[in-house]
Amino acid sequence: MNNPTYFHFPTLSPLYEAIQTSGIFPDSKFFPDCSPKSDPADILVAYEKAKSQPGFDLKSFVATHFEFPETPDTSYQSANKPIREHLDNLWDTLMREPDLTLNTNHSTLIPLPYPYIVPGGRFREVYYWDSYFTMLGLQVSGRAEVIQNMVDNFAHQIDTFGHIPNGNRTYYLSRSQPPFFALMVNLLAEIKGEAILLRYRRALEKEYDFWMDGEHVPAALAAGDPLLTPAAEAAGTRTHRRLVQLADGSLLNRYWDDDPNPRPEAYAEDLHTAHQSSRPAEETFRHLRAAAESGWDFSSRWLSDEQNLASIRTCDFLPVDLNCLLYYLEKTLVHTYRQLPDHTPVEVFKDRARLRKAAILKHCWDAKQGFFFDFNFVENQRAAAFTLAAVFPLFFQIADAEQAASVAKILEEKFLHPGGLVSTLSHSGQQWDAPNGWAPLQWMAYRGLMNYGHSDLAEKIRHNWLSLGEKTYADTGKMMEKYDVENPDAPGGGGEYPNQDGFGWTNGVYLKMQSL
């Protein structure tokens, strides 16, 4: 693993804190995406001299000493094109070429060796789990070379950093996102053949090692996690970063972030949230960052009080979707090792997958309620929140037929609306809660239900989601990051920033669903 040096904005303290708490930019992500025009140390000296001068204007100082990031192109319209033509053309608008001349000492952007697709709007970089759903659309559009480039970029990041960061910005390096890399590799294998698995074997292994870090280190899985309660420790629960060993010996995973500080891209917001909490600020920051790693930032799923973000406790949960993804990674390694002369690793990973599946079914399935839930290992009980993460055991065929039928019934009765499925049943104001629906979860639910023969419900979800996307496109000429599925006439909302147009994974899922 290489260790290149990259620029981090907190090195500009106290200028960094002054800007991020000043409100001069309405989006906290804007300043971390700026680039210093000269050595940051020289800028700090200039700031110390200038800030006490009469008439000092902080925004003007920033404009003088920093290159502003590109303004999102919101002017791209359909020009009355059919939606399929619009989306096929939009890939070129969302494409970014590798910037091999980028000064990594003066920019938070991490250069990548191959072209890639960004989501759109304020998201000027590639994002990890978004990209799998984007690739589904690229496959339909016949852009196999772009899929190849993006998979190669992710393999490059694994080789460079030991994991795939949340996005290719330095402020994302301390965390990842839901591990969809194995699905990307298998998608590429659909196009180019099974030998692709061997090409990415090392990258798949390294990603697995990242999530399982501490498993083979003596005393790594030990007591002492400051986020664990004494009762959980006494019960035999042990943790190390993203890995949790339960009292029954089960090894399952959680979301985590190694940096217990405010997120640079949401600095003011995180400070505000921490101030609302009675816990040490570092605990709140850790849980906020872990939620960002989950991709569900934010949702009542992670809150002890669904109306209060300051009650966030992401690191206490063993998420059902995360563990299903790692089960799939284990199964993918089994298929990869079957192409090698030595089949010993095949049996090792078959056993790992079997044990994880058993642990998911034991700890995440609630027979009484007939639904899959996250497991709160700190409280040693299943979470109460009904969420669309419950479709992951169907997508990865972990559930049995009876469990799948029960999940389908609840989806139809509680989650299904005129525009598709809500992410949760809570109206908390957070963007990953009702009334919002998101493209990736519509796809996971659709395919999961189809796996178990619930085609009528799957087709209803597909129809509702496509209809909502088409209606919004007809009204605005745009595809959006998220949608209000309860009221198709209302825009999606909630969260830390306005709804964004573009939009990579929405385009990808639409194209894939529409092609079926």
Report how far apart, in Å, the C-alpha atoms of 188 and of each of 140, 197, 329 are. 13, 9, 15
Q: Is 130 a catalytic residue?
A: no
Give residue 220's pLDDT. Answer: 67
343: pLDDT strictly greater than 80: yes
For residue 333, pLDDT beyond 70: yes
Alpha carbons 61 and 296: distance in angstroms, whole number: 35
400 is catalytic: no
Q: Are the C-beta atoms of 131 and 139 separated by less than 8 Å?
A: no
Q: Which of 12-16, 69-73, 369-373 has the highest mean pLDDT?
A: 369-373
| Candidate list 297, 306, 321, 374, residue with the active-site label | 297
Q: pLDDT tens digits for 187-211?
A: 999 999 999 999 999 999 999 999 9
On average, the pLDDT of the chain sits at: 92
Q: In angstroms, rounded to a whole number, what is the distance separating the alpha carbons of residues 325 and 451?
A: 16
> How large is the average pLDDT for residues 289-311?
97
Residue-wise pLDDT tens digits, 407-447 = 999 999 999 999 999 999 999 999 999 999 999 999 999 99
- Asked if the model's pLDDT at residue 225 lies above 80, the reply is no
- Judged by phi (left if over 0) then psi (alpha if -120 to 50, else beta), residue 181 lies in alpha
Is the pLDDT at 101 greater than 80? The verdict is: no
Residue range 39-82, pLDDT digits in tens: 999 999 999 999 999 999 999 999 999 999 877 555 555 557 89
Contacts of 108 (CB under 8 A, 6+ apart): 6, 7, 8, 9, 32, 33, 35, 169, 170, 171, 264
Question: What integer is the mean pLDDT of 332-361?
Answer: 96
If you average pLDDT over residues 242-266, what whole number do you get?
95
Check residues 223 and 475 and name the one with the higher pLDDT: 475
Question: For residue 327, what are its two tokens?
Answer: 């089960």
Whole-number pLDDT of residue 3: 53
| Structure confidence at residue 494 as a pLDDT band (50, 70, 90) | low
484: left (phi over 0), alpha (psi -120 to 50) or beta: beta
**Distance from the Cα of residue 7 to its chain's centroid:** 23
Q: Cα separation of 425 and 434, whole Å?
A: 6
Mind giving me the DSSP string for 267-332?
HHHHHHHHHT-SS-HHHHHHHHHHHHHHS--S-GGGBSSTT-GGGB-GGGEE-HHHHHHHHHHHHH
What is the distance between the alpha carbons of residues 303 and 420, in angstroms, rounded to a whole number? 24
Mean pLDDT value across residues 268-286: 96
Catalytic residue among 374, 481, 484, 496: 481
